[in-house]
Amino acid sequence: MSTPSPTPTPAPACRHFGTCGGCQTLDQAYEAEVRDKEQSLRALFEGGGIASSTVRPLLSAQAPEGYRTTLKVPFAGYRGEPQAGFYRAGTHEIVNLEECAIQHPALVELLQIARELAAECRVSMYHEARQSGVLRALAARVGQGTGALLVGLVVRRADDRRVAQMAQKLYYGMRRRGLVGVVENHHDQASNAFFGKVTRVLHGEGRLPETFDGLQVQTSLTSFSQSNHTDAETVYRVARELLEPVANKTITELYSGWAPLGLRLAAAGAKLFCVEQSKIAVRDGQRNAKDNGLSDRISFCAMDAAHGLLQAPPSDAVIVDPPRKGLDEMVRIGLQRGPAPHLVYISCNPVTLLRDIEALADRYQLESIQPVDLFPRTPHVECVASLRWRNGS
């Protein structure tokens, strides 16, 4: 989807805007951003042959700034000092983050303190080109409904004495402000992947406590979670409304993660079969199901979506929530066989959503697309689409 055209407003509320790649539309009035996003969406879908009446009005974000409850930033050295922040757009040059209009304020404060401690403890900064140094990145999250904080230090080499000192100072310095744990993620590969495969707890807890809809959950830092808790609730509400009545339905969820949606549906009386490739996310989901007394209503399959679909029980509906690249080809082939009469597609990329709707058109008829502004101050939009079997399927 194209970047919305700018509508000038007073100076953006962030000194980094224009150089940092974290947001792109802070120089617009939010109302203009919403209007431009909706126009771009309608143009995209209408160009693909989808009737304008099928696309519902974009649901605005409840808080267009300060909403991001997940922070993932690289570290690097510059003139002997640690730098941490988002990359300058189109580069691997770090903009040293001092403030941020879209991040949760607690995460900005945590980053600033972590950077100061990295300097104080003289931690060696990772150098991407040379594949040297230790501290690669920092990840942190704010817990939904709890305000708890969990932070992870991504390192090239485990058991570094100075990283250990930094972690200890960070934990005990921030514990009274809600920090429940510091973990270390070991990532020694020359790749663009943010996390490595091994994570261990350095101090406190290794999972983040959260509450929503009467459920109490704990999730690992490396398990994917939506970066906007407030408006993710809107996405989940829209999906559930499309699936009503939920009680006693059998639902297969592909790309489920730790099942933040699946757990909500199971609590509402549905029977869920969740497919997720990440074993860490599956373990989180299984533990949360057990802790909330839902193990008899939700099960998990730790494999890729295509193979998981083959294992799925007969279902009343299938939910898919793929990454930006959209559905894998083998998943599209499996869905073209029409394993369930109702398909709910949650998409973070309207372009691949359109492609997949077209690929499934022989089997499924598009009913509606509900856009949600899950990523305000960026060009990105979340969409929830409802598709049903064509007559005679």
Which are the catalytic amino acids?
348
| Exposure b/e, 147-158, CB count within 10 A at least 16 = b | ebbbbbbbbbbb
Q: What tokens were used for 145?
A: 């409904």
Q: Which residue has the tokens 């080109």?
A: 129
**Collapsed DSSP state (helix, strand, coil) of residue 361:** coil
Q: Which of 305, 321, 340, 198 is nearest to 260 (CA)?
A: 321
Q: Which residue has the tokens 């199901």?
A: 289
CA 342 to the chain's CA centroid:
25
Could you tell me if 374 and 231 are in contact, meaning their C-beta atoms sit under 8 angstroms apart?
A: yes
Burial of 109 (0-12, 13-18, 19+ CB in 10 A): middle
Q: Which of 209, 221, 227 is nearest to 61 (CA)?
A: 227
Q: What tokens were used for 370?
A: 């509900």
Cα distance between residue 162 and residue 175, in whole Å:
20
Cα distance between residue 263 and residue 207, in whole Å:
17
Q: What tokens were used for 107?
A: 């995460």
Cα distance between residue 382 and residue 378, in whole Å:
12
CA angle 385, 7, 98 (to 5 degrees): 90
Burial of 190 (0-12, 13-18, 19+ CB in 10 A): exposed
DSSP 31-65: HHHHHHHHHHHHHHHHHTT--GGGBPPPBPPS-SS
Cα distance between residue 108 and residue 67, in whole Å:
12
